[in-house]
Structure 1
Amino acid sequence: MFGKVKRLLIGRPMKSAELEGEKLSKLKALAILSSDALSSVAYGTEQILLVLVAAGFMALWYSLPIAVAVLALLAILITSYRQTIFAYPSGGGAYIVAKDNLGKAPSLLAGGSLLVDYILTVAVSASAGTDAITSAFPSLHEYRVTIALIMIVFLTILNLRGVTESASILAVPIYLFVVAIFALIICGIIKYFTVGAPVAHAEFGSAVSNVSLFLLLKAFCSGCSALTGVEAVSNAIPNFRDPAPKNAAKTLMMMGLILGSMFTGITLLAYWFGIAPEAKSTVVSQIAEATFGRGAIYFIIQGVTAVILFLAANTAYSAFPLLAFMLAKDKFMPHMFMVRGDRLGFSNGILFLSVLSAVLVMAFHGDTESLIPLYAVGVFIPFTLSQAGMMVRWIRLKPSGWLVKLFINTVGMLVTLSITLIFIFTKFHQVWMAFIFLPFVVYLFYKIRSHYDNTADQLRIDLAKDKPITKGNTVIIPISGITRVVLNTVSYAKTLSNNVVAVYIGFDDESIAKMEQKWAEWDPGIRLIVLKSRYRSIMRPLYKFIQTVEWKMAAEDHVTILIPQFITKHWWENVLHNQTSIMMRAFFIRNKEVIVTTVPFHLDK
Structure 2
Amino acid sequence: MLRVGAERDDAAQAGTVVTPSAEFPPLGDEERAALGRIGERWRGPRRADDLPVDPTLGRHEHHPAPTRFGRLAPIDMFTVAQPGELVATGAADLPGNRAGRSVARVRRTLIGPPLSSASVLYERMRKLVALPVLSSDLLSSVAYGPEAMLAVLVLAGSAALGLALPLAAVLVVLMVAVGLSYRQTIPAYPHGAGSYIVAGDNLGRTPGLAAAAGLMLDYVLTVSVSIAAGVHAVTSALPGLGRWTVPLGVLVIAVLLAGNLRGVRTAGNIFVLPTYAFVVVLLVVLAVGYAKAASRGFAPLPPPSAPAAEGLGLLLVLRAFSSGAVSMTGIEAVSNAVPAFRPTEWRNARTTLGWMVAMLVTLFAGLIGLIHLDGLAPRADETLLSQLGRVTFPSGPGYAILQATTALILLLAANTAFNDFPRLLFFMARDGHAPRRFLHMGDRLAFSNGLVALALTAAVVFVAFGGHTERLIPLYAVGVFLAFTLSQTGMVVHWRRRRGPGWRRRLAVNAVGATLSGLVLLTAAVAKFAEGAWVVVLAVPLLVLLFRRIHGHYDRLHRALALHSPPSAPPAECDELPQQVRHLVVVPVARLNRASLRALAYATSLGRPTLAVHLAPAQDEADRFRDQWRAWGDHLKLETIVSPYRSVIGPLAHYLEALHAASPDLTLTVIVPEVVLRRRRYRLLHSRAEQRLRTALRALPGVVVTSVPVHVSR
The one-letter code sitting in structure 1 at the alignment partner of 2:647 is S
Residue deviations 1:103-155 (CA, integer Å, cap 9, x gap): 22211211221122112212222222222222222232232222222111111
Q: Deviations over 1:258-291 (max 9, x none)?
A: 1111112322232233322223322112222233
| Shift in CA distance, 47/509, structure 1 to aligned 2, threshold 3 Å | same
Deviation, structure 1 residue 528: 4.3
How far did 1:496 drift?
2.3
Matched, 1:313 2:414: yes
* Equivalent of residue 287 in structure 2, options 176, 180, 186: 186
SS in 2 for 1:12: coil
Deviation at 1:518, TM superposition (A): 4.5
SS, match of residue 144 in structure 2: helix
Residue 280 and residue 603 in structure 1: after superposition, are their counterparts in 2 closer, same or farther (change >3 A)? farther
Question: 1:563·1:596 contact (CA, 8 Å) conserved in 2?
Answer: yes
Contact 1:489–1:562 (8 Å) recurs in 2: yes
Q: Report whether the alignment pairs 1:252 with 2:362.
A: no
Tell me if structure 2 keeps the 8 A contact 1:92–1:323: no
Q: Return the offset for 1:589.
A: 0.8
Distance in 2, matches of 1:582 and 1:127, equals 46
Contact 2:674 2:690 survives alignment (8 Å): yes
Q: Deviations over 1:526-563 (max 9, x none)?
A: 344443334332221112221232233434x3111222
Instruction: Kindly provide the CA deviation profile for residues 313-345 of structure 1, in whole angstroms up to 9, marking residues without a partner as x.
Output: 111111112221112222222222222221112
- What residue number does 1:382 align with? 483
Task: Name the CA distance, whole Å, in 2 between partners of 1:234 and 1:313.
Answer: 17
> Mind listing any 5+ residue stretches in structure 2 that lack a counterpart?
1-100, 570-575
SS of structure 1 residue aligned to 2:122: helix
The Cα shift of 1:582 comes to 1.9
Aligned counterparts of 2:288 and 2:232: Cα–Cα separation in 1 = 24
User: What is the match of residue 597 of structure 1?
Assistant: 706
The 3-state SS of whatever aligns with 2:114 is coil
What SS does structure 2 have at the residue aligned with 1:566? Answer: strand
- Contact kept? 1:59, 1:202, Cα under 8 Å: no
Give how far 1:359 is off.
Answer: 1.9
TM-superposed CA distance for 1:48, in Å, is 0.7
- Residue in 2 aligned with 1:158? 259
Quickly say closer, same or farther: Cα 1:347–1:524, change in 2 above 3 A: farther
Instruction: Flag the 1:269–1:509 CA change in 2: closer, same or farther, 3 A.
Output: farther
Q: Deviation string for 1:507-535 (max 9, x for gaps)?
A: 34565555445444445733444433343
Task: Please say if residues 116 and 378 of structure 1, whose CA atoms lie closer than 8 Å, have aligned partners that are also in contact.
Answer: yes
Question: Over the residues paired in the alignment, what is the CA RMSD in angstroms?
Answer: 2.6
Shift of the 45–531 alpha-carbon distance from structure 1 to 2, 3 Å rule, reads same
User: 1:460 maps to what in 2?
Assistant: 562
Higher mean displacement: 571-580 or 544-553:
571-580
In the alignment, what sits opposite 2:250? 149
What is the aligned partner in structure 2 of residue 588 from structure 1?
A: 697
Deviation, structure 1 residue 450: 1.7
- Asked whether the equivalents of residues 303 and 377 of structure 2 are also in contact (C-alpha less than 8 Å), the reply is no
**Map of 1:426 onto structure 2:** 527
Task: Measure the CA separation in 2 of the matches of 1:14 and 1:437.
Answer: 38
Contact preservation (8 Å) 2:673, 2:709: yes
Correspondences of 1:72-221 after superposition (within 5 Å): 72-193=173-294, 200-202=301-303, 210-221=311-322
Tell me if the contact between 1:134 and 1:280 (Cα under 8 Å) persists in the aligned partners: no
Change (3 A) 1:239 1:535: same
Aligned ranges 1:21-40 → 2 under 5 Å: 21-40=122-141
Matched, 1:233 2:343: no
- The Cα shift of 1:506 comes to 3.5
Q: What CA distance in whole angstroms lies between the structure 2 residues aligned with 1:515 and 1:142?
A: 69
Q: Work out whether residues 475 and 497 of structure 1, in 8 Å CA contact, stay in contact via their aligned partners in 2.
A: no
Q: CA deviation at 1:176?
A: 1.5
Secondary structure in structure 2 of the residue aligned to 1:562: strand
Amino acid at match of 2:541: P
Residues 155 and 309 of structure 2 are in contact (CA less than 8 Å); yes or no, is this contact kept in structure 1?
no
**Shift in Å, 1:12:** 1.5
Q: AA paired with 1:159?
A: N
One-letter code of the match for 1:488?
Answer: R
Paired residues of 1:474 and 1:497 also in contact (CA < 8 A): no
Alpha-carbon distance in structure 2 between the residues aligned to 1:417 and 1:223: 15
Note the alpha carbon deviations across 1:141-181, whole angstroms, 9 max, x for none. 23222222211111111111110110011111121221222
Question: Relative to structure 2, which stretch is displaced further, 511-520 or 563-572?
Answer: 511-520
The reply on whether 1:476 has 2:586 as its aligned counterpart is yes
Distance 1:547 1:303, change over 3 A: same
> 1:67 and 1:495, CA in 2 relative to 1: closer, same or farther beyond 3 A?
same
One-letter amino acid matched to 1:536: R
Structure 1 stretch displaced more, 483-492 or 11-20 = 483-492
Q: Which moved more, 1:31-40 or 1:343-352?
A: 343-352
2:657/2:700 contact within 8 Å kept: no
Whether 1:437 aligns to 2:547 is no
Q: Which of 635, 638, 641 in structure 2 is aligned with 1:525?
A: 635
The alpha-carbon deviation at position 25 of structure 1 amounts to 0.4
8 Å contact from structure 1 (residues 473, 497) kept in 2: no
Structure 2 counterpart of 1:495 = 605
Taking the aligned partners of 2:212 and 2:164, their CA distance within structure 1 comes to: 33
1:263-412 pair list within 5 angstroms? 263-293=364-394, 296-412=397-513
Select which of 648, 658, 671 maps to 1:562: 671
User: Deviation string for 1:186-207 (max 9, x for gaps)?
Assistant: 233344455999x94249xxx9
Letter in 2 for 1:185: L
2:164 paired with 1:55: no
Query: 1:77 and 1:595, CA in 2 relative to 1: closer, same or farther beyond 3 A?
Result: same
- Cα 1:539–1:296 change in 2 (3 A) is farther
Q: Does 1:547 align with 2:649?
A: no
**What do residues 431-486 of structure 1 show as CA deviations (whole Å, max 9, x unaligned)?**
11222211111112222222222222222233474661434322222344344332
Amino acid at match of 1:127: A
Q: Is the 8 A contact 1:292 1:298 kept in 2?
A: yes
CA contact (8 A) 2:186 2:193 kept: no
Query: By how many angstroms is 1:62 displaced?
Result: 1.7
After TM superposition, the structure 1 stretch with the greater mean CA deviation from structure 2, 343-352 or 248-257, is 343-352
Q: 2 CA distance for matches of 1:361 and 1:583?
A: 40
Instruction: Please give the secondary structure, in 1, of the residue aligned with 2:353.
Output: helix
Of residues 524-533 and 438-447 in structure 1, the stretch that sits farther from structure 2 once superposed is 524-533
In structure 2, do the counterparts of structure 1 residues 38 and 483 end up closer, same or farther at CA, with 3 Å as the change threshold?
farther
Distance 1:577 1:298 in 2: 65
Deviates more, 1:221-230 or 1:341-350: 341-350
- State which drifts further: 97-106 or 562-571: 562-571
Instruction: Specify the alignment match of 2:88 in structure 1.
Output: none
The total of aligned residue pairs comes to 601
Contact preservation (8 Å) 1:237, 1:245: yes
Counterpart secondary structure, 2:386: helix
Report the residue type matching 1:564 in the other structure: P
Paired residue type of 2:270 = I
Distance 1:208 1:477 in 2: 79
CA separation in 2, counterparts of 1:504 and 1:29? 66
CA 1:379 to 1:209, structure 2 compared with 1: closer, same or farther past 3 Å? closer
TM-score computed with the length of structure 1 as normaliser: 0.93
Alpha-carbon distance in structure 2 between the residues aligned to 1:522 and 1:280: 85
- Number of the residue aligned with 1:42: 143
Separation in 2, partners of 1:6, 1:164: 18
Going from structure 1 to structure 2, the CA distance change for 1:578 and 1:364 (only over 3 Å counts) comes to farther
Q: Distance in 1 between matches of 2:535 and 2:552?
A: 26
